[in-house]
Amino acid sequence: MSGSVDECITRLLALAKRFNCFYLSGFHSSECKPFVVEGYQVGLIRPDVMKELIHFPEVFHVTPGCVELNPAFRDYQERSVKVNEVLKELRKKNTFITLKGWRDECYEVKAEFNTTSLLKMDRSATCLFGIRNYGVTINGYVRHPQQGQCLWFQKRASTKQTWPGKWDNMVSGGLSVGHGILETAHKEAMEEASVPPYLLQNLISTSCVSFFFESERGLFPNTEFVFDLELPVDFVPENADGEVDTFEILPVTKCLEKILSPDFKTTSSPVVLDFLIRHGVVTPENEPNYLSIIEFLHVPLQTVYGRCHNKMKENGISLSNI
């Protein structure tokens, strides 16, 4: 494999479909049921998960149309505690692989990204409920005098709970409870790659990518806030938190080969693809599926969960009674 841009280019649509495997298949089947909290659909639940939730009727109301969190729970605090109790039970029973990677780090569960949180949930559990999750990624790049534009990658430590040993973006991290977007970008840049504060002043917010992936662990409607960071040619990232095995820098023309490799974390490739599109490496002239690929980098996760439930709520209809 010479890894030339031209050779890789026709394989990109297949990759874009791979990181949207749930959007293209399961999402359109009627197997999964909406997960509803306070009248808002906040997720989607697979049959294997529903089968377990049925055993907790005081917390989850499984109806023909949806799975609803008990509307009697009064507030954020109570909802978070009640769900957490169920998750701890399920964890003890060893029912779900994903709960073996319990994080003691929570994600917010919201109707929309910019609305008040309804509850928090351990990040290892959100994929069981198809909760949209949000992260931050930094493309660390260099303008090399001989090699042209080059992009840094990290190899994940073999001890990581998810995607161990896979290649990944230079810096990324989930947006967990209590942390802002830019704050998370700065924190992760320092922890994962020891980027000093004076270099972080060059950080530029450039886009987001949204895609809907599924694995044996669960459902992943992911949105990544993307930043570009131009680095000096002589900067070498150094890991500070033990979560990275090594770093590598590649000319942008070699990056397609990198993300198409089975050693690359599937759900990190959208950010690289977006970078290569924004910087003129993947173009409508060299990629016949350019428009479709860009659509797959922006699947409508913000509107994908219907709003019919809000209306029921407004009309005072409890979903449990439908």
Q: Which residues contact its own copies (rule: CB under 8 A)?
A: 113-114, 180-182, 204-208, 210, 223, 225, 277-280, 283-285, 288-292, 294-295, 297-303
Closest distance to its own copies from the beta carbon of 228 (Å): 8
By C-beta, is 36 or 282 nearer to its own copies? 282
By C-beta, is 207 or 253 nearer to its own copies? 207
By C-beta, is 88 or 278 nearer to its own copies? 278
- SS3 at position 243: coil
By C-beta, is 86 or 294 nearer to its own copies? 294
Number of Cα atoms under 13 Å in the Cβ half of residue 79: 20
Closest distance to its own copies from the beta carbon of 271 (Å): 14
Helix (H), strand (E) at residue 237: none
Q: In the numeric block, which tokens belong to residue 156?
A: 């994940």
With contact defined as beta carbons under 8 Å apart, do 123 and 103 qualify?
yes
Closest distance to its own copies from the beta carbon of 60 (Å): 28
By C-beta, is 80 or 149 nearer to its own copies? 149
By C-beta, is 40 or 167 nearer to its own copies? 40
| Chain centre to alpha carbon of residue 115 | 19
Closest distance to its own copies from the beta carbon of 135 (Å): 12
Helix (H), strand (E) at residue 9: helix 5-9
Closest distance to its own copies from the beta carbon of 57 (Å): 35
Closest distance to its own copies from the beta carbon of 89 (Å): 34
Q: Give the burial class of 129: count Cβ atoms within 10 A of its Cβ; 0-12 exposed, 13-18 middle, 19 or more buried.
A: buried
Closest distance to its own copies from the beta carbon of 181 (Å): 5
- SS3 at position 27: helix
Helix (H), strand (E) at residue 117: strand 117-122
- The radius of gyration of the chain from alpha carbons, rounded to an integer in Å, stands at 21
d(CA 226, CA 240): 22
DSSP 28-55: GSSSSEEEEETTEEEEEE-HHHHHHHTT
By C-beta, is 217 or 279 nearer to its own copies? 279
